[in-house]
Amino acid sequence: MYPRLYAKYFQQVITIEPCYINFQILNLNCPYENIIKIQAALGLTHQMAGINRMTMDNTGMHTIKRSEPGNIPILMIDDFELPALDLIHLDIEGMELDALKAGIKTIEKFRPVIVVENPHTSLTNFITSMDYEFKEKSSADGIFAPK
């Protein structure tokens, strides 16, 4: 529901969802014109991948199978060539570090606030190496801002 919330505060929201079921729910729950919805995954390299459906009790826990061919395109943040960017919020089941590495040009250009789920040590180290600082934790999410 973050895209729906962010749509109230930002001129445009781009949301990326690889799971077909979740993508359909996203379309139903977020009918706003300022939310651009893309059925894909974010990662470090362009490729097609499969999906690992962990449990149907929590479809937010599905993960991308990079080692298996599939029908889900993996895109990179830098692919979008955005005209502006204020916030990156990643909850992508362990692919956050890869996604950020593939968005380094965009991050350096716009210096957005970065929110990531479960910021483990290597993820935190990468973000802070870009001259960001940890600001606070909100539930399981870590919030980082440029220094």
In the predicted model, residues of the chain with pLDDT beneath 70 are 53-63, 65-66
**pLDDT at residue 91, as a whole number:** 85
**pLDDT at residue 42, as a whole number:** 94
Question: 2-146 has which fold?
Answer: Rossmann fold (3.40.50)
Give pTM, 2 decimals.
0.89
Cα 136 to its chain centre, rounded Å, is: 19
* DSSP H or E stretch at residue 50: strand 47-52
**pLDDT at residue 21, as a whole number:** 87
**pLDDT at residue 108, as a whole number:** 98
**pLDDT at residue 60, as a whole number:** 54
Cα 22 to its chain centre, rounded Å, is: 14
Q: In the chain, what are the domain boundaries?
A: 2-146
Nearest to 80 by CA among 47, 123, 36, 48: 36
